[in-house]
Structure formats: structure tokens, C-alpha cells
């Protein structure tokens, strides 16, 4: 991959999580110097352990809600590029723990931005939010970066609030006072190896398949933009590269979703997982009951802006994305070396052409 991130000091928040682990491994492959700030990993069989992330970065465990500690890490580490992924990322958990969700996703993000403002080495900041930051109108059109922000459940609202916060920091501080680039990245529903989060459909599928049980599908008709984890991460790396070249041109929100073909309902995803696994079944629970927490029914992203202005495009179709994901979990259950396999998935992905 042609990148100017090589030998740069990069700080990743959320490096013990699913996406953060893959990002840290990819940054290592392109020869960046990496420091991670996160809480302890939740799952012992998740990407952080399987990809041996603690051996390839400075692995710091700290709560982003503790501003003083975060600031002293920034001052000591002197990072140039920040990827802020740390968050409470689950819709269902946000109903159970709304205060924690808002605290971490909003005030935690404010702490990171303020620490960036106080750290002279910082040049580029990319804050990872989500496709769920848009006010969901249940319409068939993909949301564009200039559509209205919103969010009914606490997770979505907290990410919309993080978007507003970023905009405020950009306009109030970074634009006029210092030469710092600040962008947000809104990805779709991500699948890939090493995610064992509860209440996410892909880990639910793999857990059931490993136990030879039918997969229980909570919300089969909900339509989402599915993409392999390497797709948005490639987008974030591409964006950081472009921002290092020209900070002011790219300090904006960016969608990184799949092509049209990746927009499918949950049932179609489960069917494809079962097909790739080679065996298994599922039972759809039908429409959510009146008592189920609200989750949007239809959500898609418009990626014309990233296609046209970043020259970024998806590289994987829906079936390939599911196959790469299922291959990873199968290899893990077969006891294969997951560092080698994951590096190979990244290298193969880098060598692919855009669709």
C-alpha cells in the first residue's frame, strides 16, 4: 500500500477491540510506530489476543474518561496521527447503560480532542463514529455526509453528539489556531474475524455454529450496509494519508460503506454465513416484539463522496466479505496461527483492485 504513515507515531484508542486490533496490525505491516490506549480486552479469544497485538505496539490500559491520565500519555508519547475508536459500541448495551455510553462516547471523545489540542506533535485526528449517527428516516436512500444527524437509541445519539463535538472543536480551535486536521469516519456494519461481542449477529452465528445449534435471528428483515473490517480500515488509512498531504482539504465527515451489493437484510447475511460454514441452520424470530428495544429497520450509506474525493472504493463483494470472515473463524477453531492468517488477509486485500 502506498502510504506516508510509515515510521510515523500513531496513537490508536480502542486497540484492544475488534476494529482497533485489525487497524493496529495493519499499521504494523505498513511500518508505523504504534501506541494504543484502551481498557482491558473483553474476550480472551478475540482479535487482540489472536493477532498478538500487545507485542506490536505500546499497549497502554487507561480509561478515556480520565482526562489527566490521557493528557499525560499524549504528552509523553508525542503522537502525530490519532485514530480514535474507543467507545461503548453496542446499541443493546446502550439501553442498559446509557450514562456510561454517553460518558465514554461523548465526554471520552472530548477528552481525546482536548488532549490533542494540548499536544504539539498532533497533526491528524480521525474520530470513528458510525452510520447510525444520522437521523434515521427509514428511507431507501443512502445517507450522505450532509444529512441531518440524529439517533433514537442512546448509542446512535451518543455518536451523533460526538459528531457535533468534533465539529465544534474543528471550528473553535483547530481551523484557526493550529494546523491540525480533524475528520470523522462513518462506517457501516462491520464483519470480520475476531469479533466476539455479544448481541452482534456475526459472533452470534459463529457461536451457534460451533455448538451445532440453530442460529437465532432477532431481526431478520433489518437491512444494513455490511462490509468486511478491512474495507473501512482501508478508508481510514487512505483518509489519514490524504490529510497528511493536505490537512484542510479533508477535515470533514466521510462515509465508508459497502457498494450497493453489500446492502442486505440480516437473514441474507445469516444464509451466506451458513453457506460458507458448510453446515448449520437458523430460526428467524420474525419482527421484533413491541417490548424489544428499538433498532432501525433500514439503514444504508451513500459513499459517493469518498469514491470521488478520496479515490476510495470497496474492494470486496458481499460473498467475499462473508467468506473471509467465516474462513477466519474456521481457522481459529482449527487452531491455526491467526497472526499469519490475518497478515495474509491484509496483504491479499492490499493487492486487490477496487471494485
Residues that bind ligand NAD (CB under 6 A): 14, 16-20, 38-39, 63-65, 85-89, 104, 108, 128, 130, 187, 189-190, 197
What CA–CA distance (Å, rounded) separates 231 from 251? Answer: 20
CB of 212 to ligand NAD, least distance (A): 26
Least distance (Å) from ligand NAD to the CB of residue 229? 8
Smaller CB separation from ligand NAD, 96 or 245: 96
For the chain, what is the HEC assignment? CCCCCCCCEEEEECCCCHHHHHHHHHHHHCCCEEEEEECCCCCCCCHHHHCCHHHCCEEEECCCCCHHHHHHHHHHHCCCEEEECCCCCCHHHHHHCHHHHHHHHHHHHHHHHHHHHCCCCCCEEEEECCHHHECCCCCCCCECCCCCECCCCHHHHHHHHHHHHHHHHHHHHHHHHCCCEEEEEEECEEECCCCCCCCCHHHHHHHHHHCCCCEEECCCCCEEEEEECHHHHHHHHHHHHHHHHCCHHHCCEEEECCCHHHEEEHHHHHHHHHHHHCCCCEEECCCCCCCCCCCCCECCECCHHHHHHCCCCCCCCHHHHHHHHHHHHHHHHCCCCHHHHHHHHHHHHHHCCCC
CB 108 to ligand NAD: min, Å: 5
The CB-of-314 to ligand NAD minimum distance in angstroms stands at 15
Nearer to ligand NAD, 88 or 251 (CB): 88
The nearest distance, CB 191 to ligand NAD, in angstroms, is 8
Smallest separation, CB 129 to ligand NAD (Å): 7
Between 102 and 250, whose beta carbon lies closer to ligand NAD? 102
* Position of minimal CB gap to ligand NAD: 17
- Shortest distance, CB of residue 161 to ligand NAD, whole angstroms? 13
Please say whether the dihedral angle defined by the alpha carbons of residues 226, 229, 234 and 235, taken in this order, is positive or negative. positive
Quote the least distance from Cβ 279 to ligand NAD, whole Å: 26
Amino acid at each position: 500500500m502506498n502510504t506516508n504513515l510509515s515510521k510515523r507515531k500513531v496513537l490508536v484508542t480502542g486497540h484492544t477491540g475488534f476494529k482497533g486490533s485489525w487497524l493496529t496490525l495493519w499499521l504494523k505491516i505498513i511500518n508505523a510506530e504504534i501506541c494504543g490506549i484502551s481498557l482491558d480486552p473483553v474476550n480472551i479469544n478475540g482479535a487482540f489476543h489472536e493477532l498478538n497485538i500487545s507485542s506490536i505496539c505500546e499497549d497502554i490500559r487507561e480509561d478515556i474518561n480520565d482526562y489527566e491520565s490521557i493528557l499525560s500519555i499524549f504528552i509523553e508519547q508525542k503522537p502525530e496521527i490519532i485514530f480514535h475508536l474507543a467507545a461503548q459500541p453496542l446499541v443493546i448495551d446502550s439501553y442498559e447503560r446509557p450514562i456510561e455510553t454517553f460518558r465514554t462516547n461523548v465526554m471520552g471523545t472530548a477528552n481525546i480532542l482536548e488532549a490533542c489540542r494540548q499536544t504539539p506533535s498532533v497533526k491528524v485526528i480521525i474520530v470513528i463514529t458510525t452510520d447510525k449517527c444520522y437521523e434515521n428516516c427509514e428511507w431507501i436512500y443512502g445517507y450522505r455526509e450532509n444529512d441531518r444527524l440524529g439517533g433514537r437509541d442512546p448509542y446512535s445519539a451518543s455518536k451523533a453528539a460526538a459528531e457535533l463535538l468534533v465539529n465544534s472543536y474543528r471550528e473553535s480551535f483547530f481551523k484557526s489556531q493550529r494546523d491540525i486536521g480533524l475528520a470523522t469516519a462513518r462506517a457501516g456494519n462491520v464483519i470480520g474475524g475476531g469479533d466476539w461481542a455479544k448481541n452482534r449477529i456475526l459472533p452470534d452465528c459463529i457461536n451457534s455454529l460451533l455448538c451445532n445449534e440453530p442460529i437465532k435471528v432477532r431481526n431478520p428483515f433489518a437491512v444494513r450496509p455490511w462490509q468486511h473490517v478491512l474495507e473501512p480500515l482501508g478508508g481510514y488509512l487512505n483518509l489519514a494519508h490524504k490529510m497528511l498531504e493536505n490537512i484542510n482539504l479533508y477535515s470533514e465527515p466521510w462515509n465508508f460503506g459497502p457498494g450497493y451489493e453489500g446492502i442486505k437484510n440480516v437473514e441474507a447475511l445469516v444464509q451466506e454465513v451458513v453457506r460458507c460454514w458448510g453446515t448449520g441452520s437458523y430460526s428467524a424470530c420474525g419482527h421484533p416484539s413491541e417490548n424489544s428495544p428499538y433498532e432501525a429497520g433500514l439503514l444504508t450509506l451513500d459513499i459517493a463522496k469518498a469514491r470521488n474525493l478520496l479515490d476510495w472504493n470497496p474492494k470486496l463483494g458481499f460473498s467475499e466479505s462473508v467468506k473471509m470472515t467465516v474462513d477466519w473463524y474456521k481457522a481459529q477453531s482449527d487452531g491455526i496461527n491467526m497472526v499469519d492468517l490475518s497478515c495474509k488477509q491484509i496483504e491479499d486485500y492490499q493487492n486487490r483492485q477496487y471494485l
